[in-house]
Amino acid sequence: MPANPKYLNPSFWSRFSKITAAIIGGFMVSIFFHLAIASWFNHVDVIITSTYTSFILWAALMIFAFLAKNGWRIWAIYLLASAILAIIMFYGKSLNPIV
């Protein structure tokens, strides 16, 4: 049974923003999340664990991107989350240089 047309989004740019936010934005957030954790804890353990958990987090962020109504808003959320995680990673590297 085909989808109801009233639920489909006819705009190309809205679909494009959701798809790119799901694939690229979700990947950025999941990688920055694990790098931020690795800068504060033992990076070897986090990198080994991230091989599994980064895929799970990426899949969850992809689902979240497609559930949203506006793809550009998801891009803004993912870029803001990436920036915050990058700042956390920077301070983790500055305050814990040996770890």
Per residue in 20-33, pLDDT (tens digit) is 999 999 999 999 99
Q: How many domains does the chain have?
A: 1
**43 falls within a domain:** yes
Q: Which domain holds residue 51?
A: 18-95
Chain segment 56-81, per-residue pLDDT in tens? 999 999 999 989 888 899 999 999 99
**39 falls within a domain:** yes
pTM beyond cutoff 0.85: no
**12 falls within a domain:** no
- By percentage, how much of the chain surpasses pLDDT 90? 52
Compute the Cα dihedral for 24, 25, 30, 36 and give only its sign.
Answer: positive
**75 falls within a domain:** yes
Q: How far is CA 74 from CA 28, 46, 55, 95, in A?
A: 13, 27, 19, 31
**9 falls within a domain:** no
**3 falls within a domain:** no
